Amino acid sequence: MNYKEIISSISNKDFHPIYFLMGEEPFYIDKISDYISDNVLESQEKEFNQSVLYGKEVDVAQIIAEAKQFPFGATHRVVIVKEAQNIKNIDELESYLDNPQPSTILVICYKYKKLDKRKKFTKSLAKKALLFESKKLYDNKVPDWITKYLSEKGYKIEEKASFMLAEFLGTELSNISNELDKLMVIVKKEEKITANIIEKNIGISKDYNIFEFQQALGKKDILKSNQIVNHFSANPKAHPLVVTLGMLFSFFQKLMTYHSIKDKNKNNVATELKVSPYFVNQYSSAARNYSQSKLFDIFTHLKQYDLKSKGVNNTSTKDGELLKELVYRILH
């Protein structure tokens, strides 16, 4: 079952005795466990029938003992185990899988990692419990996730604005949703969220960001590239060199991949590069400006300046100056 199906089944009072929620992305794990916590029991039933345990403080035997208790004045008992990734010998829970307490809803929150699907315990979970994996979202999927999240709440966002947010906020869905929730308090539903609104309310420059930087470099727009470099240099906390170098490496790596793609169909290129189709024209245009041999030179420069930023063969040059030198080498 996916996230929406799980929420729907809980809403319809179709409960599973055991929910094992695992994965690198904690957002959906928290959402499901919170929904169970908020909606299974009435508020007056929770004091005696809802327990929250923490993986650092309990072992499997204590969890089973808690789960085996009968509800008091309610039809169900809810036991939520947070930070379950810290429990040693979690596979000892298998004995409970064979004979769970029917009136108990046991929720195991196993964050930031996942069980080995080849192991007997994991296979047993898949058969006897509701096993849900919350996967980390790839960078290229974040803009679409932002658009969908807002759309479900009745808001619209322009494509550039969603990419600006994705670039600035990263892939942590909890952080992204928090910022979007704040944004929805400010913006009216009938008002489309634009790059200007993002700049005004979240503090991301619509003109001087990594998105615009990559576009300027791709077009070999020397003036715009240098304007952005100067902005980055003047605002090192907002644009740390280590992050910029990582983004540039990813951008030029995609250009190298583009050169090797035989089928230049837009959707195929988007799949191969793991980017939105919205970006394909940018990469095809940039690839015409950077040959494979030039890209090899750029990778050498990127490695060199990464080392310099870490103090190798560099004792005095500041990050801003290093970035200016690097961009000059890229563009010439």
Instruction: Give the per-residue pLDDT at 46.
Output: 94
Predicted pLDDT of residue 203:
75
Burial of 179 (0-12, 13-18, 19+ CB in 10 A): middle
Q: Give the residue extent of every domain in the chain.
A: 3-133, 139-202, 210-331
Q: For position 45, what pLDDT does the model report? A: 95
Q: Which helix (H) or strand (E) holds 34?
A: helix 26-39
Type of residue found at 315:
T
Q: Which of 104, 97, 100, 99 is nearest to 77 (CA)?
A: 104
44: its two tokens = 């007056």
Fold of domain 3-133: Rossmann fold (3.40.50)
- Cα dist. 312→106, 303, 305 in Å? 53, 11, 9
Contact 199, 55 (CB under 8 A): no
Q: Which of 1.10.8.60, 1.10.357.10, 1.10.150.120, 3.40.50.300 would CATH assign to domain 139-202?
A: 1.10.8.60
First to last CA, the chain: 53
* Single pTM value for the model: 0.73
Q: What is the largest distance, in Å, between two alpha-carbon atoms of the chain?
A: 76
Question: DSSP labels for 251-280?
Answer: HHHHHHHHHH-S---HHHHHHHHTS-GGGH
**For each of the chain's 332 residues, which pLDDT tens digit applies?**
899 999 999 999 999 999 999 999 999 999 999 999 999 999 999 999 999 999 999 999 999 999 999 999 999 999 999 999 999 899 999 999 999 999 999 999 999 999 999 999 999 999 999 999 999 988 778 888 999 999 999 999 988 888 888 878 888 899 999 999 999 999 998 899 998 898 888 877 778 888 889 999 999 999 999 999 999 999 888 788 888 898 899 899 999 999 999 999 998 998 898 887 878 999 999 999 999 999 999 999 999 999 999 889 888 889 999 999 999 999 99
Options 1.25.40.10, 3.40.190.290, 1.10.760.10, 1.20.272.10; CATH of 210-331:
1.20.272.10
Output the six-digit token pair for 55: 């993986």
